[in-house]
Amino acid sequence: MRKTFIFAVLLSLPATLFAHRLDEYLEATILSLDAGRVVGSMRLVPGVAVSAAVIASIDTNGDGVISEVERQTYAQRVLNDLSLSVDGQPLALRLISADFPPLDGMKQGIGEIHIDFSAELPEGGLNRQLIFENRHKSEIAVYLVNSLIPGDRNIQITAQSRNENQSFYQVGFTQSANAGRTNPPTLSGFAGAFRLGIRHIAEGTDHLLFLIALLLPAPLLALGTRWGSCASVRVSLIRIVRIVTAFTLGHSLTLALAAFGVVSLPSRPVEVMIAVSILVSAIHAIRPLFPGREAAIAAFFGLIHGLAFASALSELGFDGWYRLVSLVGFNLGIETMQLAVVAAILPSLLLLSRTRAYSALRIGGGLFAAFASMGWIAERALSVPTAVDPLVENAARHGDVLAAALFLVSLLCWFGRDFSRLLPKFRIKAIAP
């Protein structure tokens, strides 16, 4: 059966599909309708903080090995927490396969459990309704559910709806004995992929931290081995636009190539290189490493970040025309969120860079980014657990408050600078006869 997505819808909870989640159990389900049956494919990814509990529920004897009996038992437990019905008639779910990753991968939050199941689709009328519910590990789970365009042209999906957390999914479809016409390509998938791009960059704190650290010295002029006076507003804006544009072009290129299978790298070295890119930009924010060449560095590391972006998109399984539609939507979502973040901090950077307080912000921001990057390098390259993820993600959750506070501080510093310049004049006027 030709499998292409009707559309992809993001989780409405504050989580992304693959954005270094810690305390959640991601459960993504894909349903496909065919003549006579419904097939479901699930990917279950436990985050680092909940992986021990999930592993304990699978490896029930605690010997560190998932036996075939334990695989089948857990897979059946998952199916028991699912319900599928058509036209109000409950369907019996049959396990097709259950694949489990190594325990080390699950402990790191990157191991995926794959469970495939099916159910017989009874005959019915023209207009039909399928309902899917997922209640597995609801106390720690976040859910994602999608449908595929049926390969059988006699089946046409007419409507879809979900509840807020996507544990409930309803599909309306028509089933006719008459061969239907081939569906023309549509923009289905664009809106969901666009939201996925927004959420991915918003929750992918490492990507934003790299860009912000690289922008910190953009309004300044380098004087040898240190940052000196501020550049003009025009020069600062041009530099920032060049950096953001170069980063966009870099990650857009590899995102497109990876999405269509032209390039592929293992996720582990990619994630390590992303952490290294943050460390490089953090050091540059403190001391000039490549003044005037920030755009080139942004483009180079953007190539690496694009490979990480592609992992979130490719895991959704888009194909054919819908892969192109989803690629465009996903990339535009990334750019929209990226531009929103830059627009939120840009006024503060320009104002503060013209005050003495900017040195503290630049160095403090650079040190924070360096600390986070070294923690990520230790986690991703050496499998050493650190507290970096919860620290950075907690800061990201309050990003709007931090941006507003930064702007308020920049205004106070700006007007305080002008007031301090006027004080001597007032004093002279008061003393003069």
Task: Give pLDDT, residue 313.
Answer: 64
pLDDT in tens, 276-310: 999 999 999 999 999 999 999 999 999 999 988 87
Angle at 51 between CA 48 and CA 54, to 5 degrees: 160
- Angstrom distance (rounded) from CA 228 to CA 314: 44
- Angstrom distance (rounded) from CA 194 to CA 191: 5
Number of H helices, E strands in the chain: 12, 12
Residue 175 banded pLDDT, cuts 50, 70, 90: confident
Q: Is the pLDDT of residue 4 over 70?
A: no
| Domain range list for the chain | 25-184, 192-421
- Angstrom distance (rounded) from CA 199 to CA 19: 9
Q: Is the pTM of this model over 0.75?
A: no
Q: Is the pLDDT of residue 69 over 80?
A: yes
Q: Is the pLDDT of residue 107 over 50?
A: yes
Residue 432 banded pLDDT, cuts 50, 70, 90: very low
Phi, then psi, of 40 in degrees rounded to 5 = -120, 140
Mean pLDDT of 138-145: 91
pLDDT in tens, 382-400: 888 888 888 888 888 888 8
Could you write out the DSSP letters of every residue in 44-69? EEE-HHHHHHHHHHHSTT-SS---HH
The overall average pLDDT reported for the chain is 83
The conformation of residue 169, written as its DSSP 8-state character, comes to E
Task: Give pLDDT, residue 108.
Answer: 82
Residue 424 banded pLDDT, cuts 50, 70, 90: low
Mean pLDDT of 408-416: 88
Phi, then psi, of 47 in degrees rounded to 5 = -70, 165
Q: Give me the half-sphere count of Cα atoms (radius 13 Å) on the Cβ side of residue 150.
A: 22
- Angstrom distance (rounded) from CA 347 to CA 333: 23
Q: Is the pLDDT of residue 63 over 80?
A: yes
